[in-house]
Amino acid sequence: MPYKLWFGVFEDELKLAEKFEDSFVNAVNEKPIPFNVAELGIKVLGREYYRTLRRVAIGVAEKRIREELSSDERYIISLVKALESVEEIINVLKEKEEDLEANAIGEKFLEAIENMKELRDEIEREIDVVMAKIAPNLYEVAGAKLGAKLIEKFGGIKKLAFASSNKIQIIGAERSLYKAIARMKRGKDAKIPKHGIIFLHGFVRNLPKKKRGKMARFLASKISIAAKIDYFRGELDEGLFESVKRRFEELRREK
Amino acid sequence: MRNVRIINGIPATKSRYGSHYGERVIEIGGEKYREWIPWRSKLSALILKGHEIEFRGDERVLYLGASTGTTLSHLADVIDEGVIYAVEYSAKPFIKLLELAKERENVIPLLYDASKPWLYSGIVEKVDFIYQDVAQRNQVGILKANADFFLKNDGSFLLMVKAKSIDSTAEPKEVFDAVVEKISRDFSILETGSLEPYHKDHIFILGVKI
């Protein structure tokens, strides 16, 4: 069995790669290699082994970073769009199933609904994995699904990071917002929406109606910070979610 | 720990390099020490809490979940004559990690998913030590897979476990017990302990491959 190493392929004897960048990317082996890669490498490359390895690793990573940064974001946006379509399909199918329940064909609809639900769960799991990777702070503070929906609505992490937190608070409720503004312009009373898709967050949804506005405002500001950290630093800030949780507990106890 | 000393109650590592992430550099007797704040690094918290891990300084180390390289930069000061393979799968923090790798000769940066060790199986050599701090749910599986591929017999590992990453709804204690139980099936555990108050709901597990 040939062993694929970053500097070549070993099968009985070593065949040194022409371009280390290519062999580096192809150094994939199903099972652990039974010998020490570096020992063999040092025999071939001598004292330059680690220096060469490091140079190739840095070169390959630099190229891949640029590709990954944009493709992951496009992927998450596509996933969210797909998820929304699948959810819509499930609703439509359910409606039709109720109409046809009494007939034999109703059974077929139930089957289709089950299939669609499986697909939906699969997409949600994928969103979870990708969000944890590309936006760890949004993942913690907003949750995978809401975080992904926000990225999709704003058209990318950068745009979300630069958005104002009140925009984050009401996005998804634009229609009622502009309706309210129009009414106010005419001098009438109007209710400004307190939350848009942010309502999907358990901390907002699970509070009594009177307190949801406060929570939504606080959560939106923390989501804004989370997006900024994800965009600029990309490292998880442990304290952020704690502060959101504390605020939720506070509001819950408050009379 | 080698090259570590406590200065004014806070660990610091003796370093030939300057500041990596904005930490203070203190000079004592002509030697430079980089301040290692326990709230920012779990390994620093572990040291400050009095736990001891011995290094010779020339180990081969596999570091899973290197993120922006905060802890890694200090570990690279400790293992200053060794080699650290630093794996991180998220591109954003990797940019910062690359800066470190360009400066430090003993750091080899790998942009890979730690749950797929076969992808870098032809790159990483057999190692003496695995340091793992990943936020993925399947932490035990990741450790096991990487130990199978790369850890020498008698090689040791240090695993940082965050309860919330594994199950955000369960009680931390239950999560920890389950993790320790799972790990003890494949490894022998030397020591476990909490990282409070520096890191909430985190524990560390130090063990050996048998």
Q: Is the pLDDT of residue A255 over 80?
A: no
Q: Is the pLDDT of residue B155 over 90?
A: yes
- Containing B203, the helix (H) or strand (E) segment is strand B202-209
Q: What is the ipTM of this complex?
A: 0.94
Q: Domain locations in chain B? A: 38-209
| pLDDT value of position A228 | 95
Give the pTM: 0.80
In DSSP terms, B32 is beta-bridged to B27
| pLDDT value of position A254 | 83
CA atoms within 13 A on the CB side of A132: 17
CA-derived radius of gyration, chain A? 26
Q: Is A57 on the interface with B (CB under 8 A)?
A: yes
| pLDDT value of position A28 | 96
**For chain B, what is the mean pLDDT?**
94
Q: Which residue of A has its CA nearest to B114?
A: A133
Q: In the CATH scheme, what is the homologous superfamily, with its name and number, of domain B38-209? A: Vaccinia Virus protein VP39 (3.40.50.150)
Give me the residues of A, 122-141, that contact B with CB < 8 A.
Answer: 132-134, 136
Q: Domain locations in chain A? A: 3-44, 67-134, 135-255
Q: Is A218 on the interface with B (CB under 8 A)?
A: no
| pLDDT tier, B114 (very low <50, low <70, confident <90, very high otherwise) | very high
Are A15 and A8 a contacting pair, CB within 8 Å? Answer: yes
Locate B38 and state its tokens. Answer: 């326990």
AA identity, residue A15: K
Supply the DSSP string of A120-164, one letter for each residue.
HHHHHHHHHHHHHHH-HHHHHHT-HHHHHHHHHHHTSHHHHHHS-
| pLDDT value of position A89 | 93
Minimum-distance CB partner of B125 among A24, A36, A68: A36
Q: Is CATH 3.40.228.10 the classification given to domain A135-255?
A: no
CA-derived radius of gyration, chain B? 16
| pLDDT tier, A126 (very low <50, low <70, confident <90, very high otherwise) | very high
Write out pLDDT tens, residues B116-128.
999 999 999 999 9
Are B34 and B54 a contacting pair, CB within 8 Å? Answer: no
Q: Please report residues of A whose CB lies closer than 8 A to that of B150.
A: 32
Spell out the residues 6+ positions from residue A182 whose beta carbon is closer than 8 angstroms to its own.
none
Q: Which residue of A has its CA nearest to B135?
A: A132
- Containing B179, the helix (H) or strand (E) segment is helix B172-184
Write out pLDDT tens, residues A163-208.
999 999 999 999 999 999 999 999 888 888 999 999 999 999 999 9
| pLDDT value of position B170 | 86
Q: Is the pLDDT of residue B132 over 80?
A: yes
Q: Is B181 on the interface with A (CB under 8 A)?
A: no
Could you tell me how many CB contacts below 8 A there are between chain A and chain B? 111
Q: Is A109 on the interface with B (CB under 8 A)?
A: no
Are A132 and A144 a contacting pair, CB within 8 Å? Answer: yes
| pLDDT value of position B35 | 96
In angstroms, the separation between the Cα of residue A188 and the nearest Cα of chain B is: 46
**How many other C-beta atoms can be found within 10 angstroms of the C-beta atom of residue B78?**
21
Give dist(CA A199, CA B68) in Å, integer: 33
Mean pLDDT of B151-173: 90
Write out pLDDT tens, residues B2-29.
999 999 999 999 999 999 999 999 999 8
Q: Give the mutation candidate from B121, B136, B149, B153 for the A interface (greatest A CB count, under 10 A).
A: B121
Q: Is the pLDDT of residue B209 over 90?
A: yes
Secondary structure letter of residue A195 according to DSSP: -
Q: Is the pLDDT of residue B168 over 80?
A: no
Give dist(CA B113, CA B145) in Å, integer: 12
> Tokens 């409070």 sit at which residue?
B196
Are B90 and B76 a contacting pair, CB within 8 Å? Answer: no
Give me the residues of B, 100-119, that contact A with CB < 8 A.
Answer: 101-102, 105, 107-111, 118-119
Minimum-distance CB partner of B126 among A36, A133, A234: A36
Helices (H), B5-122: 42-48, 70-78, 91-103
Write out pLDDT tens, residues B46-84.
999 999 899 999 999 999 999 999 999 999 999 999 999
Mean pLDDT of A21-43: 95
Total residue length of chain B: 210
| pLDDT value of position A34 | 95
Q: Is CATH 1.10.287.660 the classification given to domain A67-134?
A: yes
| pLDDT value of position A222 | 95
| pLDDT tier, B167 (very low <50, low <70, confident <90, very high otherwise) | confident
Helices (H), A31-143: 37-45, 49-100, 106-134, 136-141
AA identity, residue A146: L
Give dist(CA B197, CA B191) in Å, integer: 18
Write out pLDDT tens, residues A49-93.
999 999 999 999 998 988 888 788 889 999 999 999 999 999 999
Which of B77, B91, B92 shows the shortest CA–CA distance to B20?
B77
| pLDDT value of position A204 | 92
| pLDDT value of position A233 | 86
Q: Which residue of B has its CA nearest to A20?
A: B123
Give dist(CA A183, CA B151) in Å, integer: 68
Q: Is the dihedral of CA B112, B117, B121, B125 positive or negative?
A: positive
Which of B145, B144, B165 shows the shortest CA–CA distance to B207?
B144
Per cent of chain A over pLDDT 90 is: 76
User: Are B107 and A54 an interchain contact pair (Cβ–Cβ within 8 Å)?
Assistant: yes
Minimum-distance CB partner of B108 among A4, A53, A133: A53
Q: Report how far apart, in Å, the C-alpha atoms of A195 and of each of A78, A89, A100, A217 are.
A: 24, 26, 37, 8
